[in-house]
Structure 1
Amino acid sequence: MVRIKHRYLLFNILYPTPTTSASPSSSTAPPDNEKAYIHFSRPSPSHLNTSLLLSLIRSSITFNFGTYFAALTAPALRLVYFSARTSTGILRVPRAHAKVVWASLTMMDTIPIPSTKGGPSGSPIGEEVKCVLQVVRVSGTIRKSEEEVLRRARREVARARRDVEEEDQRVLDGLVGGGSQHVSDSTRFMRGEEEGIEDDDEAEEDVD
């Protein structure tokens, strides 16, 4: 009996546009001191669940590659993990057609918003949320994908802590007249170098 081979695509959903709000000033661009990765990496809309996301992925495969590839990928296509809080998911795909599904994810750029009838808070029919689906790792086992999710989560926590420490250092430098500015600059440079080293293996493809 031949075992069916799979690949696991770890992906992030990024939101390049700011969230909408009733206040006109809130829809403007984020302030300069706001980190880009915080602005793009935010929780997904509350209505986006596993079934809806999987349906959108299947629709993207059908639209871009036709019903033939949609039928080939359908039996093995499964969203094994999705977190709306972190906008992260793991998609199981057939190994032979992993690149087809990968391309379909890349071509997805919107998430529809369900319309609600009546009241000023109702969403107009056809309104959509702009998004980018970024595949960050292809693994041969789900365990490798889970390990990558944990590694990235730890890295984001460490990055946020460094940002807070650097902000505190800038405030302290301002209070003491900038006497330790050269220390802060060298620290930021070294941390930037370390972060670059950590990011070198993000595109690594595991073919276990």
Structure 2
Amino acid sequence: MVRLKTRYILFQLRYPDFEDTKTAKNVQPKTLISILRASMSKNFGDIGLSETLNAFTIKYFSNSTSVGILRVHCDAVEKVLGAMFFVSSVDGKNVIWDSIGVSGSISKCERRAIQINRRILRDGKNNENVDDVLDIFI
């Protein structure tokens, strides 16, 4: 019996429009999967799409930090990264799909995601405090 080898892609959705970052917090993992499948079909055809059907799920996605972990088949990692590059909008909002890293084990991806989430939340708290201070002077 042959073992199915998978890879885990750590990604982050970045919103270039500052107004969209506060309103784009309701992204569903099912929506992201359907957008990626559409991009795979458009850019790599039916054969490229069929390579990702076996192991193609989002294992983790946080709406507060827009960081997620995607599980893909080992042979389709490059095509999925290419499909991510061509995605330009999610739910009508401009988005940049940034791949942070690829790992063979989910535990390493989770550790990296925790570090990134902490950094984002820490920086976000500092930015909110700065905005509160600036609102006093305006």
Task: State TM-score, norm by structure 1.
Answer: 0.56
3-state SS of paired residue (1:73): coil
Following superposition, the deviation at residue 157 of structure 1 comes to: 4.5
Alpha-carbon separation, structure 1, partners of 2:125 and 2:31: 34
Larger Rg: 1
Unaligned runs of 5+ in 1: 21-40, 113-127, 168-208
Residue among 24, 27, 37 paired with 1:44: 24
For the Cα contact (< 8 Å) 2:9–2:101, is it kept in 1? yes
- The answer to which structure has the higher helix fraction is 2
Contact 1:79 1:92 in 2 (8 A): yes
Correspondence for 2:69: 90
Query: Paired residue for 1:106, among 70, 85, 88?
Result: 85
Return closer, same or farther for 1:157/1:85 CA change in 2, 3 Å cut-off.
closer
Q: Hey, what does 1:78 align to over in structure 2?
A: 57
CA gap 1:105/1:2 in 2 versus in 1, 3 angstroms: same
Find the residue that maps to 1:16 and give its secondary structure. coil
Trace 1:1-208 onto structure 2 (pairs within 5 A).
1-19=1-19, 44-46=24-26, 48-112=27-91, 128-159=92-123
> Percent identity over the alignment?
29
Choose between structure 1 and 2: higher strand proportion: 2
Instruction: Kindly provide the CA deviation profile for residues 7-32 of structure 1, in whole angstroms up to 9, marking residues without a partner as x.
Output: 10000000001326xxxxxxxxxxxx
TM-score relative to the length of structure 2: 0.83
Provide the alpha-carbon RMSD of the alignment: 2.3
* Structure number with higher relative contact order (C-alpha < 8 Å, ≥ 6 residues apart): 2
**Gap runs ≥5 in structure 2:** 131-138
List structure 1 runs of 4+ shifted beyond 4 angstroms.
Answer: 157-165
